[in-house]
Amino acid sequence: MLWHGLAYEEVFRQLETTREGLSGEKAAERLQRYGANEIKIGKKISPLKIFLSQFTNFLILVLLAAAAVSIVVGFMQNEPEDYINAGLILVIVVANGLFGFFQEYRAERSLEALRKMSPSKAMVLRGGQKFELDALEIVPGDIILLQPGDKVTADARIFDSINLHVDESLLTGESVPVSKISDVLPDSTILAERANMLFKNTIVTSGVGKAVVTETGSATEVGKIAEKLGEGGQKVTPFQVELGSLGKRLGLLVFIVIAFVALTQVFLNEAPLLAIFIIAISLAVAAIPEGLPAVVTLALAFGTRKMAKKNALVRKLGSIESLGSVDVICTDKTATLTENRMTVTKIFFNRQEIDVTGTGYDLEGEFKIGKKSVAPEEMQLLLTAGALCNDAGISVGENSGLCFVGDPTELALVVSARKAGLSESALNSEMPRVDEVPFSSELKRMLTVHKTSGGKTAFMKGAPETVLQHCGRIFVDGKEKKLSEEDKKEILEKNSLFASKALRVLGFAYKKAVSAREKPGGEKRSGSEKSGFEKEMVFLGLQAMIDPPRREVHESIETCKRAGIKVIMVTGDNIVTAKAIGSQLGLGTTAIDGSEVEAMSEQQLRKAVEHAEIFARVSPQHKLRILKALQANGHTVAMTGDGVNDAPALHAADVGVAMGHRGTDVAREASDIILLDDNFHTIQEAVGEGRTIFSNIRKFVLYLLICNIAEVLVVFVASLFKVIAFTAPQLLWINLLTDGMPALALGVDPAPPDIMRRKPKKKGEKVINKRSMMLIASIGALDTVFLLAIFFIALGMGGGLVLAQSMLFTGIILSEIIRLVVIRGQEKLGLFSNKWLVAAVAASLALQLALIYSPLGALFGVVALGATEWGVLLGLLALSAVVAIATTKIVVKITPEGA
């Protein structure tokens, strides 16, 4: 039902109610019919189901299988190393599963947070009597009574109001409280402009009113949002998809290679089946990157800690990497790109345009004409009018901090007066208010009367054209002069100029020595005087204000553009304001109105989103359509927001970014990342961190596969010559040293210098792309050649198979450390830029030396190496390093980035 398109008398008829409200019996019957006024929560997901879902990834299943087989082999052969290795795998897998469980379980509480937003009490009329009821008992047809500070309990149609203003920013994105009316509106009026309607969970900022409840619970606009949020399901991040795919590919590759090695051993060497099985399992453990989940978790956790220091709270670890992949950011305007604090930036006084510096609630500022400062005393009367014809104020709150109370527009006037040294509280003490005409959307003006030593003075503020209708004189050059038609024309032209720049403009006037026998509005208390307070007033000037852009946002948007990320403003504000802010921020001015979005087909919208830079006057449904159109075009989208209206889009976005300071619980719970300082600049930092994490994971996979493929190929080639290159314990030790500390430390490498000059990762780009495949194949083959050279040269040195195995055993660990240097070199990272990696490499070397030069060597079947052995080993490894560096440069040169 389009309640806003009906006269309220017709609304009463449709709802079978009256101005006196429902009877108790009718209300009880409707409560039974419609149910409690609460947002229904969908079927809860079992915590056990969430926990078990953490172990469905293919790589995790392979690791669990490998752990099980290791335990069986350990039992059959009585080998403690197998038990230890299986235990390490299980610890990694279970810890990773628990971490994911807690993250997902917390996300499921978003609908619960939405329900808890509902106010607990409401003042209603039933049978002509006032009752304070639990909000759950409100039903369609109830009459609700509203006053400043009330949170609206249900959607309702207004039928009586006086100066009623409602803050709807958390639903529509509109930054200024909306003036409410009772008039009928066209059926086509969009949600943000339904001035005769009230919506659940919005807040009354001023005035009083009465309204008839039209919708409750899940049928309200907020309830519809809850349903959309519930329909979203558990989204899968791009990184989760990538890890699942990588695990399947690696697992399949490993099993094919191991099967080939096992078959070779059976048919060529005629080795015992049990020995072959043990070697195969050892190779599987060595080749499968069981460190991948741990490295990913560590990299994401480390990135999370870094982001927390920069005021970004990451709720879902995978999303920080996903943020590094986004190529479109859809951002709200109010409080995200702007200060969410109306600020007077222009004044028109004494026929001059004056700039006012300082933004938001900064009480310091200057008044300037061009570069020349203007003494604020010259415009004291105008600023005094703004401070006194005003219901807002600044007081000292807790811990001696300033507390700003009142309508944002009125606070802007109070702040502009403070910049001139005029305190509204001091002015009110000197000139106490004795009468007033409150502002209303019908009058479009406000008038206050103040007692002064010389009698009374009245001040008026309002729409400039309205204020001019009440003026006969103008204050110019410190004097009052007759207001001419030329003066009016100049004032209205200046008003139009300010308005074209998306400034909200107010006109001001005053009148001295007002008769004490008169009252506001021209109605006389007694006597026959015809002139009233609002007649022949003196026009003072204009004050123009805007919710200004945050200082740092412009540069952040430019950085995003350089990084290949498109920023789109999606706001509930009007298109003129949105275009003005977009122009100031460098976003552009190609804008589409919400009504146009409404009329577009899905295909038309998909074309429009590729060119639009701003979407204005959008509803929550429009936001979702815009988001889905971008995603349908292949974009990875981050959505920022703070209000109830943003929750469905935050939930559906590839990465949802909520505001921590101003954001609602609903938005925060539906999001992946929360900006604790509500600063768009922090998103830029998160993008860089996300890209760094992906880069580090790619380096880890590259390092691991080069090393592991070399291990498998060395074993395979050696088996062709009927020799065993490694024993099972040696393979497991290699796996522990190289896949352990150095690999983990690689996951926390610093950002490459050009990370924010690269284009976003392509939608389908894999961790192992074409360049990675070429590096794995070429460097893996080179490693195999040099390691086999070490092995066969050692066999000819007279020390037998044990010496050859000892040299190969140490050589492969040293070669894997060299690979770290080569791989990091392509990212232009210095040798000592990662202190954790330096420590890990030193520890691995120390453990290897301790093993071969201690009694432990006998357990692993190795002997100590002499100077000759070390000379051969280091010489060949140095040559392999030179060849590997040269090969890496060639591969990087011939394969484009992202290929």
Active site residues: 332
Query: What are φ and ψ of residue 798, in 5° steps?
Result: 90, 0
Looking up tokens 């290897």 gives 848
CA dihedral 55, 59, 65, 66 (to 10 degrees): -130
Residue pair 808/895 in contact (Cβ under 8 Å)? The answer is: no
- Between helix 291-309 and helix 80-107 the angle, nearest 10°, is 40
Closest to 124 measured CA to CA, from 32, 221, 26, 194: 26
Cα–Cα distance, 486 to 505 (Å, whole number): 20
The 8-class DSSP code of residue 46 comes to P
Report how far apart, in Å, the C-alpha atoms of 204 and of each of 130, 145, 167, 177 are: 19, 11, 6, 9
Q: How far does the chain reach from its first CA to its final CA, in angstroms?
A: 54
158 sits in which H/E element: strand 155-167
Cα–Cα distance, 385 to 382 (Å, whole number): 5
Report how far apart, in Å, the C-alpha atoms of 412 and of each of 168, 393, 438, 486, 544 are: 19, 10, 18, 29, 10
Residue pair 441/384 in contact (Cβ under 8 Å)? The answer is: no
581 is written with which tokens?
């802010």
403 is written with which tokens?
């507390």
Residue pair 578/569 in contact (Cβ under 8 Å)? The answer is: yes
Q: Are strands 343-349 and 328-331 parallel, antiparallel or unpaired?
A: unpaired
Nearest 5 degrees, angle CA 205-CA 208-CA 212? 110
Sort 897 into a burial class: Cβ within 10 Å, 0-12 / 13-18 / 19+.
exposed
Looking up tokens 């969009």 gives 190
640 is written with which tokens?
């920022």
Report how far apart, in Å, the C-alpha atoms of 800 and of each of 42, 638, 784 are: 70, 61, 21
Report how far apart, in Å, the C-alpha atoms of 520 and of each of 179, 245, 430, 471, 564 are: 22, 75, 21, 15, 59
